[in-house]
Amino acid sequence: MSMRATFRPSRGNHLMTKIDTSLIEQENAAREANLRADYETLGAQLARRGVDIEAITARASAFGVAVPSWGTGTGGTRFARFPGEGEPRNIFDKLDDCGVIHKLTGATPTVSLHIPWDKADPADLLAKAAEHGLGFDAMNSNTFQDHADMPLSFKYGSLSHNEATTRQQAIDHNIETIEIGAKLGSKALTVWIGDGSNFPGQTSLSKQFDRYLESMKAIYKALPDDWRIFSEHKIYEPAFYSTVVQDWGTSLMIAQELGDKAACLVDLGHHAPNVNIEMIVSRLVRAGKLGGFHFNDSKYGDDDLDAGTIEPYRLFLVWNELVDLENTPGLNLAHMIDQSHNVTDPIESLIVSAVEIERAFVQASLVDRTALGGYQDANDALMASATLRAGFRTDVEPILAMARLRKGAAIDPVAAYRASGYRAAVAAVRPKVKGGGGGIV
Ligand SMILES: [Mn+2]
């Protein structure tokens, strides 16, 4: 498509595409003494609880979550998008921004791409990713909007469309996304569709789901042996009456019907309000069908707010299940962020979000599971709950910061980012984008 000809990686000029290592060292030098004092104090406190701080710091160091390429640009709502300064112009700018996030946090070693938005020559993508030491996580297909180079419209559906020709177009796009991903070292395809209906009676709920399953089986057949396919459910939007893959029950049916290479992807914002998401985690792990996560936060619906900003305890409880079940045979989870940044610098939001997701993981790692099991067996609800919350209440910032310092990332990533002047530098070469209609949500 036309983007392919236009988007080329910039080489050999003076664009700022990285944060200087010396700047991070300088920023860290100003904070290192205080960090070491805080780390020692926390280490002594954890030792009294029978926890070796170094073992926890090693877990924090090994932690990684994928950044979504689309998260580096300003998102928007159905009503409007207000672009920021120095918005990435293409996937190569996005990969530069992802490189900045990883260099400062040391916690985002992979990027999740979206086709067609990120379509480019795979060799160029690999070269740009290598510049930043980045790899590629799950690929995302897109049949929730029309493509300039496709003859048929997805207005009335894609994989579940009532016309076989439109379903085939959607299947072909998913297979092309797999083929691009295979060249990039990705090992999974995430499928989320907007198919559904806006009026009762508009479509046959049963036939529509049958058509969807038939299409997914065709995509499944095209998966390389070492690939997985993730089914991502979402309760509503853009179809507001019914959605084909609306909840984890349907997602589980899909994964079970497709086969061993199929699993469910849970997006934290894709549920009805107050749904017990940690229980869904537990059930899907039990079924051997939890494949991955899209982290974000929400207040009312699929808000795509920054992880940990609204309900940090819920994020902790999800991680508590994941840590509790982490030794389940065959469990292999893809952790990804899926957020829309409307009023912040997307790089700063992604930095803070990655750290908050890691924080919840580390706090969950502090839960005394032997004591918790004992209280559960004794029906001591009060002490069981208190044991859980002891992990959540612990300020693990010194552990997170020490893990970053040791891998050459920043003790205070947002402060280092602001000190670098990266946004102003890229704004000088990335033309200002005009605001407009609704963004992608
Ligand atoms: Mn998602």
What phi and psi, each to the nearest 5 degrees, are found at residue 253?
-55, -45
C-alpha 40 – ligand 1 centre gap (Å): 39
Enter the DSSP assignment of 10. Answer: -
Summarize pLDDT for 418-430 with one digit per residue, the tens. Answer: 999 999 999 999 9
135-136 β-sheet, strand order: 67-68, 110-112, 135-136
Q: What is the mean pLDDT of residues 303-329?
A: 97
pLDDT of residue 438: 53
Nearest to 369 by CA among 387, 357, 382, 396: 387
Helices in 132-188 by DSSP H: which ranges? 164-184
- 8 A C-beta contact, residue 230 and residue 188: yes
Q: What are the b/e assignments for 61-79, b being 16+ CB within 10 Å?
A: bebbbbbbbbbbbbbbeee
pLDDT of residue 5: 39
Summarize pLDDT for 162-221 with one digit per residue, the tens. Answer: 999 999 999 999 999 999 999 999 999 999 999 999 999 999 999 999 999 999 999 999
> How many other C-beta atoms are found inside a 10 Å radius of the C-beta of residue 199?
10
C-alpha 62 – ligand 1 centre gap (Å): 24
Please give the single-letter amino acid code of residue 6. Answer: T
C-alpha 338 – ligand 1 centre gap (Å): 5
Nearest to 239 by CA among 157, 120, 331, 152: 157
C-alpha 304 – ligand 1 centre gap (Å): 9
Nearest to 141 by CA among 215, 199, 198: 215
276-283: long-range contacts at Cβ-Cβ below 8 A with a sequence spacing of 24 or more? 277/314, 277/317, 277/318, 278/314, 278/317, 278/318, 278/320, 278/321, 280/248, 281/318, 281/321, 281/322, 281/325, 282/321, 282/325, 283/248, 283/252
pLDDT of residue 10: 47
Summarize pLDDT for 215-254 with one digit per residue, the tens. Answer: 999 999 999 999 999 999 999 999 999 999 999 999 999 9
Q: How far, in Å, CA of 205 to CA of 89, rounded?
A: 40
C-alpha 291 – ligand 1 centre gap (Å): 13
pLDDT band at 276 (very low <50, low <70, confident <90, very high): very high
Please report where in the chains the tokens 């160029």 appear, as a residue. Answer: 124
Q: How does the average pLDDT of the chain come out, rounded?
A: 94
Q: How far, in Å, CA of 411 to CA of 201, rounded?
A: 56
Q: What is the mean pLDDT of residues 21-31?
A: 98
- 8 A C-beta contact, residue 160 and residue 208: yes
C-alpha 199 – ligand 1 centre gap (Å): 24
C-alpha 267 – ligand 1 centre gap (Å): 5
Helices in 265-333 by DSSP H: which ranges? 277-286, 312-324
pLDDT of residue 305: 96
pLDDT band at 4 (very low <50, low <70, confident <90, very high): very low
pLDDT of residue 206: 98
C-alpha 36 – ligand 1 centre gap (Å): 38
C-alpha 269 – ligand 1 centre gap (Å): 8
C-alpha 121 – ligand 1 centre gap (Å): 25
Q: How far, in Å, CA of 414 to CA of 356, rounded?
A: 13
pTM over 0.85, yes/no: yes
C-alpha 93 – ligand 1 centre gap (Å): 22
C-alpha 46 – ligand 1 centre gap (Å): 36
C-alpha 294 – ligand 1 centre gap (Å): 5
Q: How far, in Å, CA of 330 to CA of 322, rounded?
A: 13
Please report where in the chains the tokens 């954890």 appear, as a residue. Answer: 46
Largest CA distance in the chain: 67
C-alpha 57 – ligand 1 centre gap (Å): 29
C-alpha 279 – ligand 1 centre gap (Å): 19
pLDDT band at 396 (very low <50, low <70, confident <90, very high): very high
C-alpha 37 – ligand 1 centre gap (Å): 39
CA atoms within 13 A on the CB side of 20: 13
C-alpha 80 – ligand 1 centre gap (Å): 20
Question: 405: helix, coil or strand?
Answer: helix
C-alpha 236 – ligand 1 centre gap (Å): 12
pLDDT of residue 437: 57
Q: What is the mean pLDDT of residues 63-68?
A: 98
C-alpha 345 – ligand 1 centre gap (Å): 20
Whether residue 88 is preceded by a cis peptide bond, meaning omega within 30 degrees of 0, is no
pLDDT of residue 227: 98
Please give the single-letter amino acid code of residue 10. Answer: S
